[in-house]
Amino acid sequence: MPELPELQALAEGLSAALAGRTVRRATAHPAALRTAEPPLTALEGRALVGARRRAKLVLVDAQGGLTLVLHLMQAGRLGLAPTRPGRPGRRVALELSLDDGHSLRLRELSTTRRASVHLLTEASLADHPPLARLGPEPLGLAANGWRTALATPPARLHSALRDGRRVAGVGRCYGSEIMWAARLAPFAMTDQLDDEAWGRLAEAATTVLEGATERARQRIGANMPDRERRVTAVHGHHGEPCLRCGTALERVSFSDYELVYCAECQTGGRRYADRRRSRFLR
């Protein structure tokens, strides 16, 4: 799933490419379009202002106070492509045909349609639940901000990091990277972290996310690639040596993803049971 760094780079690239372009035709798959008023056709004839990111959402602003809120979910890919005659392909969830011969197209690489499209007015945007419920952005968030967001109510660190209502935009990949960089145990309870741990978490989050965003800008412009090419220390590297200590990286397998960590660097040598609904091996 695209996370904060990839979506930030995409929003920047789209904003530069879309500004001033006029929408000629707007269509969406019924399963993706989640709002009815105003209708999607209200975008037709309007100039686009730009694009921006909030958490894992991409917002496309149009003149007249209309905003498209797009959630790519796991398999969504958003970007500009030459406008094609005829009907949109079966994987197309949204298509805005523009006056320069290109289209802003949201595709889904999966048969399970989960991507969503909301067209909102300026008045309804502020109260839109997926936006209104979000926590603060993680980049530059101070240690006390992290403590406030994650410690109450207490939770396992790896779960709290990925909860957008606590801190916005961190997913499985960069959550694992941040915990490794901060030398923090994924299953540590957030209400038991001390001041030093919160400081390490704040520093690691900014370092990891800023670095990943810079790398994303080099490969993502106005189009999200179908395949992710991330540079990671632990995510996706189970069994490989830890880049810091050389110990083989461990994992915990869940139903649809795995959590990779270094037992030597993060858990004091303790290993989690590699099964669903894992527990500590005490």
Which tokens in the block code for residue 140? 């530059």
Q: Is the peptide bond before 38 cis (omega within 30 degrees of 0)?
A: yes
The span from the CA of 131 to the CA of 85, in Å, is: 35
Residue range 225-271, pLDDT digits in tens: 988 789 999 999 999 999 999 999 999 998 778 999 999 999 999 99
Sheet of strand 102-108: strand arrangement: 23-28, 92-98, 102-108, 76-82
The reply to whether 143-266 shares the fold of 4-132 is no
Average pLDDT, the chain: 94
DSSP structure class, residue 179: H
Residue range 33-82, pLDDT digits in tens: 999 999 999 999 999 999 999 999 999 999 999 999 999 998 899 999 99
Taking domain 143-266, whether its CATH number is 1.10.8.50 is answered by yes
Predicted pLDDT at 275: 59
The β-bridge partners of 98 are 23
pTM for this prediction: 0.93
* Alpha carbon distances (Å) from 9 to 52, 109, 133, 219: 10, 20, 23, 9
The span from the CA of 48 to the CA of 117, in Å, is: 16
DSSP structure class, residue 195: H
3-state secondary structure 134-149: CCCCCCCCCHHHHHHH
- Binned at pLDDT 50, 70 and 90, residue 277 comes out as very low
**Does residue 114 sit in helix, strand or coil?**
coil
The span from the CA of 71 to the CA of 77, in Å, is: 10
Q: Give the count of beta carbons closer than 10 Å to the beta carbon of residue 160.
A: 22
CATH fold of 4-132, please?
N-terminal domain of MutM-like DNA repair proteins (3.20.190)
Residue with tokens 């006029």, as numbered in its chain:
22
Per domain, the residue ranges of the chain are 4-132, 143-266
Residue range 106-153, pLDDT digits in tens: 999 887 888 999 999 999 998 999 999 999 999 999 999 999 999 999
Q: 277: closest CA among 243, 246, 244, 254?
A: 254
